[in-house]
Amino acid sequence: MEAETEASSFESSEMLATFLASTPLLEESWKLCHHANTALVQNFVVNRVGEVTYVAFPGVQNVGGANCCSRDLVALGTAAEGVFTAFNRHDEGEEPVMVHAGLLQLFFAIYNTQIFRDKMSELVNESKSLVFTGHSIGGAIASLSALWLLSSLPKTSLSTAVFCITFGSPLLGNESLSRAILHERWGGNFYHVVAQHDIVPRLLFAPSSPFIQQLHSFFQSRHLSLKTPYHAQLAVELSNENKAELFHTVLACLEANSGGVSDLERSPFWPFGSYMFCTDRGSICMDNATVIIKLLYLMLATGSPTSCIEDHLKYDKYIGRSCWQYLMRTSFTEGSSIESSYEAGIALALESAGINSHELAYGLAKDCLKMANQVGCRRNLNNAKLAVGLSKITALRAQIEWYKAFCDDSDDQMGYYDSFKRRSASKRGNKVNMNRCRLKLFWDKVIEMLKTNQLPYDFHMQPKYVNASQFYKLLVEPLEIAEYYRSGMHKKKGHYIEHGREKRFQIFDKWWKDRKVGEEENSPRSKFASLTQDSCFWGRVEEARDCIYEVASEMDMGRRLLLLEKIEMFEQYASRMIDRKEVSKDVLAKNSSYNLFVGEWRELKSHLQPWPLQFTSFQDGGNMVP
């Protein structure tokens, strides 16, 4: 029941496809792809229409040494060093971003040519908007080109808009690629057009089979036959048995991948971006990967061994049709008795997807459209709920602020950090600790929702959350550090910054770093900041103090020297912070850990007198200071 009410009462998958089809983008892209396929284009072809420049890669590629028929994946970060910078890093425990080895090789064959490089830098400089496009394998190369440009643009000051439209493209990468694209907010930059029964976009769900090589030669010869009648005579024919086996293998594997019960191994390949499915009766557009796989399966199930091959060559017809579809009023034949807007919308979408109500697949397809709708709605609802949650936790935050002010003015002169770290059982301290935990729960939930894709794509760009998370970090991370050292965790796990810092703070660091900043005048501060601007400051203090203890017991001169260097580095860093008044006044409280450090360090130095060492490696040694 809950799910019912959460769903939007209108189905928009068809409307989105209609919108795209009514723009010139789809038609112009296909025109150029068609040209690239038929005009013996070598690598790529460029065409400018108004403000938009189109770059098409032909579907027939000189495959050469590249093995396009296997399912081998390579990690994009390592295999393409420095080209796809956005995918270099990956999180522990997650599979690295990987793409099809053969397709990547094909991309590099083009990427490494001087003509491609020259043309790209020319286009990027001259054109405000670039569309990469391609049919079949050309589509995969278009995707890689778009990924490459999207990852390299931030390094330039250019603001070229990049879009990628593929027609019948094979799958390109694994689920991590799909997730990484979502995280970069590039999901909307990829639009994959898939004809009703086209086998190629579905091929990689199946393990490689000898037919695939044959299929490739078949398509290649069919493409060539379009150009010259001479080739037509040479056309490779696939036997009916081959077609049937291919069709049934792919269908079975797709079923397994779309959640059906099966012994078949799941394919590592995963769709990304939006998919537009075209049939004789219309088109629909989806962006939920699970739903896309399911539709790939259900729609293929309505096809036949012949149509799955033929459809790969029928984009001309499908695109032409969907671009003029708007002109005609279409009558609605299915379920004319439906009264609910939502059900009617779904029925229309399924009719466009070519799935009839009397077919077995109808119920399944209906469920998966509903699921996609709910996921989309839930994102927005979650966002709205979080906004309420955020306003509720501000009171907790205010209490901690109040506590900080109390500590900073307190007679024991320990300051915020040390008061909390060395607190005795008091109502006030407990309450603050409780608030710390509740805030932690809130933000962990936010991050969990973001990770599982339950929030709008631009969530981490909303100033509201960027500011709130930064403020939270500055205010509460000192408490986290205090708790860490208070409970002796550093003895078990190692120092906070390297071993104890929770992931959420790193994520908030990134949000803050990536936020859009206007031109702000940076005049020097007149008073100490109300919160220390480096939230790990206390962690560094603890480490420095630890070093001092170690120095005392360290006999090895080399290591001793390193420790001293580290302490010296910290001291310089801290006094810079203090000079710039970037610390809060609790740092300078008479009995604060920092002042203890200063005392201990002074003492240590006096024992070391006369200063025995020349620290030559200040600038590049040590990793304590950012």
Partner 1 sequence: MVGEKVGDITGLSEELILKSCKLAIKAHEKFPGKLYIYEKNRGSTDVVFAFAGSWLVDHWYSRKPFGETKVDASKFPSLRSLGSDEIALVNEAFSTRFEQLLIKSSFASEVEKAVSDRKQVVFTGHSSGGPMAILAAIWFLEKYVRPNIYQMPPYSVTFGSPLVGNRIFSHALRRENWARYFINFVMRHDIVPRIMLAPISSTEQGLKLMHDFTSPKSQSFQHVPIGNSAAAPAFFLSVMRNASSVASHAACNPMGWTNLLLETVSCFIEISPYRPFGTYIFCIGNGKLVVLDNPDAVLPLLFYCLQLSPGEENAEFLHGIFKEHLVYESELKESLNMQNVVYIKNLIDIPLSSDAGTNYAAATVNSALNDLGLSTRARLCLRAAGELEKQKLENQKRVDSNQDTIWEGLRRVQEYQTNCEIRKIGYYDAFRNQRDANDFNANVKRLELAGIWDEIMEMIKKYELPDGFEGRKEWIELGTIFRRLVEPLDIANYYRHLKNEDTGPYMVKARPKRYRYTQRWREQAEMRSIGSSSESTFWAEVEELRTKPYSEVKDKVLRLEGQAFAWIRDGILGKDVLLDESTFTKWWRALPVQHKSGSCIASYLGN
Applying the rule CB under 8 A, the residues between 358 and 377 that interact with partner 1 are 376
DSSP per residue over 284-314, as a string?
EEE--HHHHHHHHHHHHHTS-HHHHHHGGG-
Binding mask of the shown chain, residues 242 to 281, with x at each position contacting partner 1 by CB under 8 A = --------------------------------x-------
Give the helix/strand (H/E) hosting 191: strand 190-195
Residue 146 makes contact with partner 1 by CB under 8 A: no
Applying the rule CB under 8 A, the residues between 277 and 316 that interact with partner 1 are 285, 287
Q: Judged by CB under 8 A, which of 93, 155, 157, 329 binds partner 1?
A: 329
Stretch binding partner 1 (CB under 8 A), from 218-226, 354-362, 527-535, 559-567: 527-535
Applying the rule CB under 8 A, the residues between 189 and 208 that interact with partner 1 are 189, 191
Residue 380 makes contact with partner 1 by CB under 8 A: yes
Residue 391 makes contact with partner 1 by CB under 8 A: yes
Q: Judged by CB under 8 A, which of 115, 158, 161, 608 binds partner 1?
A: 161
If one counts every other C-beta atom within 10 angstroms of the C-beta of residue 299, the result is 23
Q: Tell me which of 198, 287, 408, 418 is the catalytic residue.
A: 198
Q: How many angstroms separate the CA atoms of 275 and 190, rounded?
A: 8
Q: How many angstroms separate the CA atoms of 469 and 446, rounded?
A: 10
DSSP letter, residue 518: -
- Among 105, 130, 167, residue whose Cα is nearest residue 55: 130
Stretch binding partner 1 (CB under 8 A), from 66-74, 244-252, 340-348, 358-366: 340-348
DSSP letter, residue 532: -
Q: How far is the CB of 576 from partner 1 (least distance, A)?
A: 17
Is 367 an annotated catalytic residue?
no
Residue 429 makes contact with partner 1 by CB under 8 A: no
Task: Decide whether 48 or 266 has the Cβ nearer to partner 1.
Answer: 48
Stretch binding partner 1 (CB under 8 A), from 324-332, 437-445, 486-494, 561-569: 324-332
Residue type, 465: Y
Place of tokens 């060093």: 81
Q: How many angstroms separate the CA atoms of 196 and 312, rounded?
A: 9
Is 586 an annotated catalytic residue?
no
Q: Tell me which of 136, 258, 322, 469 is the catalytic residue.
A: 136
Q: Tell me which of 216, 312, 460, 490 is the catalytic residue.
A: 312
Binding mask of the shown chain, residues 45 to 84, with x at each position contacting partner 1 by CB under 8 A = -------x--------------------------------
Task: Decide whether 458 or 620 has the Cβ nearer to partner 1.
Answer: 458
Task: Decide whether 16 or 236 has the Cβ nearer to partner 1.
Answer: 16
Buried b (16+ CB within 10 A) or exposed e, 185-210: ebbebbbbbbbbbbbbbbbbbbeebe
Q: Are residues 98 and 76 in contact, defined by beta-carbon separation less than 8 angstroms? A: yes
Q: Are residues 312 and 168 in contact, defined by beta-carbon separation less than 8 angstroms? A: yes
3-state DSSP call for residue 269? strand
Q: Judged by CB under 8 A, which of 163, 297, 505, 511 binds partner 1?
A: 163
Q: How far is the CB of 566 from partner 1 (least distance, A)?
A: 30
Place of tokens 């600038």: 619
Place of tokens 């500590």: 407
Token couple for 444:
């962990």
Q: Classify the phi-psi angles of 354: left when phi > 0, otherwise alpha if psi is within -120 to 50, otherwise beta.
A: left
Is 34 an annotated catalytic residue?
no
- Strand order of the β-sheet with 282-286 is 45-49, 52-57, 129-135, 161-167, 190-195, 274-279, 282-286
What is the contact surface with partner 1 in residues (CB under 8 A)? Answer: 9-10, 12, 14-16, 18-20, 22-25, 52, 129, 131, 161, 163, 185-189, 191, 274, 285, 287, 326-332, 336-339, 341, 344-345, 348, 376, 380, 387-388, 390-392, 394-395, 398-399, 402, 405, 456-458, 520-521, 523, 525-527, 529-530
Q: List, by residue number, the catalytic residues.
A: 136, 198, 312
